[in-house]
A = this chain, B = another copy of it.
Amino acid sequence: MNNKNKQKNSKVDSRIPSGFLELLPEDQIAFNAMFEAIKKTYECFGFAPIETPAIEFTEVLLTKSGGETEKQIYRLDKSGDDLSLHFDLTVPLARYVVEHYEELTFPFRRYQMQKVWRGERKQRGRFREFYQCDIDVIGTDNILVDAEIPSVIYEVFKNLGFDNFTIRVNNRKVLNGFMEYLGISSMSREVLRAIDKLEKQGEEKVAEEIKVFGIPDDKIKKILDFVQIKGSDEEIISQLRSLGVDSVLFETGVDELSKVSEAIAMFGIPKRCYSIDLAIARGLDYYTGTVYETILNDYPEVGSICSGGRFDNLAEYYTDKKLPGVGISIGLTRLFYKLKEAGLIKSGRATLSEVLIIQMDEKFISESLAVATQLRKSGINAEIYFDSEKIGKQFKYASRLKIPFVIIIGETEVKENKVSLKTMSTGEQKMMFLEEVISLFKRIG
């Protein structure tokens, strides 16, 4: 909470609630650039945009959720309908696909990038309002799509400027099949939740957590050894096949994992950016096949920056139609915050103006306007400083906002039908024709 603006006399405090992120323009511009890069990548792979209302019937949102979600949901206090803010984009997608089933074409490839809200308990780096950037392919069980998804993840993070990251892949059937083989299928859900914490909490703590469910020590050891099988993808697959696990589910899972792994190379993802990791379980119950997590290798503490998986049945609460699919989600707000914290977001310009037009005297306003119009017509973002009194103040404005160029219009410029262009980074100033300025901008892009 920021106290500096606290007012005496009856002014209202200008702070925002905790758990909400609000950025200055320079950071907003950096945030929006990331948002755009993700969006463009999604579009490049043929995902179509949809948007769903932030507010839905509470009954629709809470169908597939446990108690935790119900506690976190923001309910609206209005007489009449029982409404709430959506807490993710997957539940609304399921509802959307059922509602518009007849008008959609399947496989339905959609992206959706919206804010969601969760009344989480206060914690540093946890947000109550955040952007999710989701893609899903609905209405196909083709395993090639499971292999395509990591190629989208790869392209997204490459386009965001990352190089050193790993997309970890696993398959829920492999895990559940192994539990079946150990005869602890009924505990599968709880065990997977515990395994998900292996990296953060270590072997001992996870063993303790599993023990609580009454699973004997020898089986706990088997589980922990199993999820920590290491090696190249081929080695892991062949180890899995040699374990002699007697479960059809397990065998199907290994086959799928193997196929995804083979296909992934074809999709052009470098080997270093991808690996099988049997400890990836993903908390959500509704995943039934391939699951993904993505880690920045230099910042493992950030946790998974892009997660998802395959599901057999997206919308069972709304329809009898079977809708299998696969999807992922990027929590952009948290990612941005963590990158900023790690010093990886450099605050740049506080505006998108490429040129500030400065007048030596207000009598040159019509010349300034003509110059601005020409620049804008050429696709150059141009801004005029209308208060022409103090030149120093005008330059200070440009430099505070980090506008890269200033055009100065004065007596001489108007007489010669030219403008003076100052490059703010070097201080260099040159009189030239406006056409020359425009070609210069086109050259430097």
User: Interface residues, chain A, CB within 8 Å of chain B?
Assistant: 2, 4-5, 7, 9, 11-17, 20-25, 28-29, 32, 43-57, 59-60, 63, 74-78, 81, 83, 85, 95-96, 98-105, 107, 109-110, 115, 117, 119, 128-129, 140, 142, 144-145, 148, 155, 263, 266-268, 315, 317-320, 350-353, 356, 365-366, 369, 373, 376, 379, 381-384, 386-387, 397, 400-401
Q: Which of chain B's residues has its CB closest to A373's CB?
A: B268
Q: Give the 8 A-B residue pairs with the shortest CB-CB distance, closest first.
A: A46-B383, A77-B77, A46-B353, A20-B53, A48-B351, A14-B98, A25-B48, A14-B99
User: Given contacts A81-B17, A115-B54, are A102 and B4 in contact (CB under 8 A)?
Assistant: yes
Min distance, Cβ A368 to any Cβ of chain B, angstroms = 10
Chain B residues closer than 8 Å to A350, beta-carbon distance: 48, 105
Asked if B99 and A15 make an inter-chain contact with CB atoms under 8 angstroms apart, the answer reads: yes
**24 A-B interface contacts by CB (under 8 A):** A5-B98, A11-B318, A12-B63, A12-B318, A14-B95, A14-B319, A15-B99, A16-B99, A22-B51, A24-B50, A24-B104, A25-B104, A44-B381, A46-B353, A75-B76, A75-B77, A76-B85, A78-B119, A105-B350, A107-B387, A142-B386, A144-B386, A155-B376, A266-B366
Asked if B74 and A43 make an inter-chain contact with CB atoms under 8 angstroms apart, the answer reads: no
Min distance, Cβ A26 to any Cβ of chain B, angstroms = 8
Report Cα–Cα, A50/B28, bound state, in Å.
Answer: 6
Extra contacts besides A14-B95, A24-B50, A29-B49 (10): CB < 8 Å:
A17-B57, A29-B48, A44-B379, A46-B352, A46-B382, A54-B117, A76-B76, A105-B350, A105-B401, A107-B386
Asked if A268 and B99 make an inter-chain contact with CB atoms under 8 angstroms apart, the answer reads: no
Chain B residues closer than 8 Å to A7, beta-carbon distance: 318-320
Asked if B381 and A46 make an inter-chain contact with CB atoms under 8 angstroms apart, the answer reads: yes
Asked if B17 and A55 make an inter-chain contact with CB atoms under 8 angstroms apart, the answer reads: yes
Chain B residues closer than 8 Å to A351, beta-carbon distance: 46-48, 109
Q: Which of chain B's residues has its CB closest to A99's CB?
A: B14
Asked if B383 and A109 make an inter-chain contact with CB atoms under 8 angstroms apart, the answer reads: yes
Asked if A54 and B57 make an inter-chain contact with CB atoms under 8 angstroms apart, the answer reads: no
Asked if B352 and A43 make an inter-chain contact with CB atoms under 8 angstroms apart, the answer reads: yes
Chain B residues closer than 8 Å to A400, beta-carbon distance: 105
Asked if B12 and A53 make an inter-chain contact with CB atoms under 8 angstroms apart, the answer reads: no
Min distance, Cβ A156 to any Cβ of chain B, angstroms = 12
User: Given contacts A99-B15, A318-B14, are A76 and B77 in contact (CB under 8 A)?
Assistant: yes
Asked if A25 and B49 make an inter-chain contact with CB atoms under 8 angstroms apart, the answer reads: yes
Most interface-central of A32, A45, A356, A397 (chain B CB within 10 A): A45
Q: Which of chain B's residues has its CB closest to A16's CB?
A: B53
Q: Which of chain B's residues has its CB closest to A144's CB?
A: B386
Chain B residues closer than 8 Å to A119, beta-carbon distance: 78
Q: Which of chain B's residues has its CB closest to A80's CB?
A: B119
Asked if B23 and A317 make an inter-chain contact with CB atoms under 8 angstroms apart, the answer reads: no
Min distance, Cβ A436 to any Cβ of chain B, angstroms = 21
Min distance, Cβ A371 to any Cβ of chain B, angstroms = 12
Asked if B29 and A387 make an inter-chain contact with CB atoms under 8 angstroms apart, the answer reads: no
Asked if A140 and B52 make an inter-chain contact with CB atoms under 8 angstroms apart, the answer reads: no
Chain B residues closer than 8 Å to A44, beta-carbon distance: 376, 379, 381-382
Report Cα–Cα, A76/B145, bound state, in Å.
Answer: 40
Chain B residues closer than 8 Å to A22, beta-carbon distance: 51-53, 96, 99
